[in-house]
Amino acid sequence: MTPQEPPSGPTGSPHTHLVVLRGPSGAGKTTVATAVRARLGHGVALVQQDVLRRVVLREHDVPGGLNIALIATVCRFSLDAGYHVILEGILTAARYGPMLRRLAADHRGHTTFFYFDVPFAETVRRHATRPQAEEFTAEDMHGWYAASGRLDAPGEQIIDTTSSTKASVDRIVAYVARNEPDAS
């Protein structure tokens, strides 16, 4: 395996959850992910594409980027340690889809994908209210928006603009609770 190749093989346990929140920049993924983690409590790893790619590696989002393998490695490490994992980011289908599908196939527990389907104009409006609003433009966002797209993974769920932050958090927390091994 080269550093660019994401790891593969069984990961996690029947008791771990992998929740993947994907969608365009400004769709609300980070806000929802941090709120879900707070509600679920300890034992939940939050893996953020932007942190690993932009902060840790200082890497542009390019085909075959090292961040893809790093994201997979951090998710697998956390799942193998018994943590539930919330992975969030734009995670474009073309670049990240193969890694995400492999991770889902290898995960021994419950995996679900939530796609934030938010119109471009709304993502730009939301972005203007964020602390990092000066870091990139609506033009930058447009390129990312066009590439984000649904993964069309089995069971992928859609979160659209009619879902408030609270409703989205409640929905994801309920999904995790409903799929606990001890749930009836």
Tell me the C-alpha to C-alpha distance, in Å, between residue 60 and each of 4, 51, 52, 66, 167: 14, 12, 11, 10, 33
User: Residue 127: CB partners within 8 Å, gap ≥ 6?
Assistant: 25, 26, 133, 138, 141
Give Cα 129 distance to the centre of its chain.
21
CA dihedral defined by 136, 115, 64, 54, rounded to 10 degrees? 40
Residue 148 burial (10 A CB sphere; 0-12, 13-18, 19+): buried
Domain locations in the chain?
A: 17-178
> pLDDT value at position 148?
63
Homologous superfamily (CATH) of 17-178 is P-loop containing nucleotide triphosphate hydrolases (3.40.50.300)
Distance between CA 60 and CA 63 in Å, rounded? 9
User: Residue 153: CB partners within 8 Å, gap ≥ 6?
Assistant: 100, 101, 104, 113
Q: What is the pLDDT along the chain (184 residues), one digit of tens a residue?
A: 556 778 889 999 999 999 999 998 888 899 999 999 999 999 999 999 999 999 999 998 888 899 999 999 999 999 999 999 999 999 999 899 999 999 999 999 999 999 998 887 777 776 666 667 677 676 767 766 665 678 888 889 999 989 999 999 999 999 998 877 654 4
